[in-house]
Amino acid sequence: MTKAVLMDRDGVVTEDLGYVHKIKDFNLVQNAVEGLKLLKGFRLIFITNQSGIGRGYFKFEDFLDYNSRVVEELKKHGIKIEKTYVCPHAPEDNCGCRKPKTKMIKDAERDFKIDLSKSFVIGDKKIDVDMGHNSGCKSILVLTGNGMKEKENANADYIAKDLIDAAKWILKHGNQ
C-alpha cells in the first residue's frame, strides 16, 4: 500500500478565477511548487469538481487542455501528478463523484493501491475537507483560493497558510 496526497487543483495549486479553463488564465499559487517538492514520498493526485463543464460554461476538452498545461508545468519543476480525477457534473446532477462524495478518492485508492489511513487531502473548501474525512484521510484546508472564506466552517485536521505549510505538517504527521 502506498500513501498519497489527494488535492484540489484550483485555489490550491493554481489560481482560482472561477470556472478556470483558459490556458491564458493559468497561474500557479504562490509557494505551490515549493510545497509540492517537499512531498516526494507521496503519490500526488488531483481530485477536482469542474461543474463549469456540466453547466455548459466550457467543454471537457478545454478542461483537458488546461489541466495538461498545469501537469506539464509542474513536471518542469520535477513534480509528478499521477492522475487527475474530475467530476464534470453540475451540482444538481446529483452524481456519485461530486465532492464531498468519495467516488474519486475510492477510484484513486483502487488504481494506485493507496492506504487512505496514511494519506492526506488538501483543499481550499469545506467539501474537500469533508471528502477527506469521509474517505478516512487526514484533511488540510489551505488559506489560498477560497480557504479564508471557508475556514470557519471547515473541520480540518489542520489549517495551513499555503502548500509549504501543509507539506511541512504532512511530513511531521505522515507516519502516525
In the chain the beta strands, taken as DSSP E runs, fall at: 4-7, 43-49, 81-87, 120-123, 138-142, 158-160
Hey, where are the domains in the chain?
4-173
The residues near 24 (Cβ < 8 Å, ≥ 6 apart) are none
Q: What is the pLDDT of residues 82-138, one digit of tens each?
A: 999 999 999 999 999 999 999 999 999 999 999 999 999 999 999 999 999 999 999
**Contact, 23 vs 69, CB < 8 A?**
yes
Please choose, from the candidates 95, 101, 69, 100, the residue with its C-alpha nearest in 3D space to the C-alpha of residue 84: 69
Q: What is the pLDDT of residues 41-79, one digit of tens each?
A: 899 999 999 999 999 999 999 999 999 999 999 999 999
Phi, psi of 19 (to 5 degrees): 50, 45
Architecture of the 4-173 domain: 3-Layer(aba) Sandwich (3.40)
pLDDT for 45 equals 98
pLDDT for 176 equals 54
Output the CA torsion sign for 165, 104, 84, 147: negative
| pTM for the whole structure | 0.96
What are the catalytic residues?
8, 10
What whole-number distance in Å separates Cα of residue 18 and Cα of residue 34?
24
